[in-house]
Amino acid sequence: MDAPVIVIIGAGPAGTRAAQTVACAGLRPIVLDENQRQGGQIYRRQPENFTRPATKLYGASAASATALHNDFEALRPSIDYRPETQAWGVSDDLLLTECRGHADALRFDGLIIASGATDRIMPCPGWTLPGVFSLGGSQIALKAQACTIGQAPVFMGTGPLLYLVAWQYLQAGVKPRAVLDTSSLTTRLRGLGGLRRRPAVLVQGLRYMADLARAGVRLRSGIRPVRIEARQDGETPCAGAVVWQDGRGRTHRTDCDAVGMGYGLRSETQLADLLKCDFAFDALSRQWLPVTDRDGATSRAGVYLAGDGAGIRGADAAESAGALAALRCLQDMGRPVLESEMTRLRAALEPMNAFRHGLETGFPWPWRHAAALPDETVVCRCENVTAGDIRRAAGPLDSPEINRAKAFVRVGMGRCQGRMCGLAGAEILAAARGIAIEEAGRIRGAAPIKPLPAKIRGVVT
């Protein structure tokens, strides 16, 4: 009999450990990676001719990143690794992919989705100006291109990534003008019970903050963004200042030449949606997430989720979850697995689940800001849809949920398919209608989940 085909989407911490587990079981998995090199976003590699040390790129996680990279290189002969390959759709038991303009359709018996997460964005006036980046985009510039978004940036948002990116810029010789955090000391204390379940990670975050403070970087918490103002750079206006309010309502203005912003992370769930996996509303993160059991198995047989694509728990948790999902996939195929290893991995994930609760509690998504956005604020930048347009869909056009609003005013209909605007758009609609956020629904996925080349060769189902 032919060996079963296991396809793994993603080559970050979860995808790498899933591939390693499948290969150790004597199978040759297909590993699809959108990037040129393995590592994912958190452990994104610099180009081969760049030589910045891992300690500068990954901070306290340098050893983990290096180990993951080395393990993957050792694994290469045992897997079918396909870099620069995008999984853009599904058709029955076929996964539709594209690589450098060539389309393919892959049959799979088991599919492990380790697609990770992207920045969670709360818009504010001026966020579409040139020179405004997501925190993830700010990291990519530094890691993959060895350049910075500016020489005097402001980093704004909330969550551990906010301080990590600011620290990474400091290590690269760029002193941020300020780090502005919407979470307050009070909310962080509420989350401390969960955060201290992983004391090493907690200490690591405090160290980043201390290093920034010692360098004279202005750290402010409990802030509310007001707007990003433009400065004239030649003929093009670009980000020049952040106007914000402190906890007492006093207004401040911080000059800068770039802004990096992000409010935690949102799971990449589009493929699970196309595969018709069940979803449930997660009140903790105010997001709809695919339903999985403790091993990562979804409601669709043969489909598994691992890593941040199933819920934000961090890189260490992603490694354990990737290995566990692969073991469950093998077990469901009737392959022998060590039950003791599955038990060990489940136990390893327990404190990480508590840590996730602390993370979302301590650094919450500032959902209340959505109701206060001025009508003229662009929310969906792909289609230039404003907060006022969404409120018009919610009111005069009587859209009961976000997909009806999408049909009326095109929110979430652009090339990013709601990755940047979907969560904020739903919050605006819910506030305008006076309904619970879960009643506003979620933007449904549609193929292709990411843009494809205009000319494409091969099989397109």
List the pLDDT tens digit at each of the 461 positions of the chain. 588 999 999 999 999 999 999 999 999 999 999 999 999 988 998 888 888 888 888 888 899 999 999 999 999 999 999 999 999 999 888 999 999 999 999 999 999 999 999 999 999 999 999 999 999 999 999 988 889 999 999 999 999 999 999 999 999 999 999 999 999 999 999 999 999 988 988 999 999 999 999 999 999 999 999 999 999 777 789 999 999 999 999 999 999 999 999 999 999 999 999 999 999 999 999 999 999 999 999 999 999 999 999 998 989 999 999 999 999 999 999 999 999 999 999 999 999 999 999 999 999 999 999 999 999 999 999 999 999 999 999 999 999 999 999 999 999 999 899 999 999 999 999 999 999 999 999 999 899 999 888 877 876 55
Tell me whether residue 137 is exposed, middle or buried, using C-beta atoms within 10 angstroms of its C-beta: 0 to 12, 13 to 18, 19 or more: middle
Say yes or no: domain 368-440 is CATH 1.10.10.1100.
yes
Closest Cα partner for 265 from 322, 297, 226, 313? Answer: 313
Tokens at 267, concatenated: 């799971």
pLDDT of 460 reads 57
pLDDT of 48 reads 80
Question: Sign of the CA dihedral 61, 64, 68, 69?
Answer: positive
In angstroms, the CA 417 to CA 414 distance is 5
Q: Please state at what angle helix 387-394 crosses helix 402-409, rounded to 10 degrees.
A: 110
Phi and psi of 136, rounded to 5°?
-65, -40
CATH level 3 topology of 6-118+266-359: FAD/NAD(P)-binding domain (3.50.50)
In angstroms, the CA 81 to CA 8 distance is 10
Question: Sign of the CA dihedral 286, 287, 292, 295?
Answer: negative
Closest Cα partner for 104 from 461, 418, 413, 459? Answer: 459
CATH code of the region 121-263: 3.50.50.60
What are the domain boundaries of the chain?
6-118+266-359, 121-263, 368-440
Q: How far is CA 272 from the centre of its chain?
A: 15
Q: How far is CA 421 from the centre of its chain?
A: 13
Is 237 within 8 Å of 225 (Cβ atoms)? no
pLDDT of 459 reads 63
Domains 6-118+266-359 and 368-440 share a fold: no
Q: What pTM was estimated for this model as a whole?
A: 0.94
pLDDT of 454 reads 80
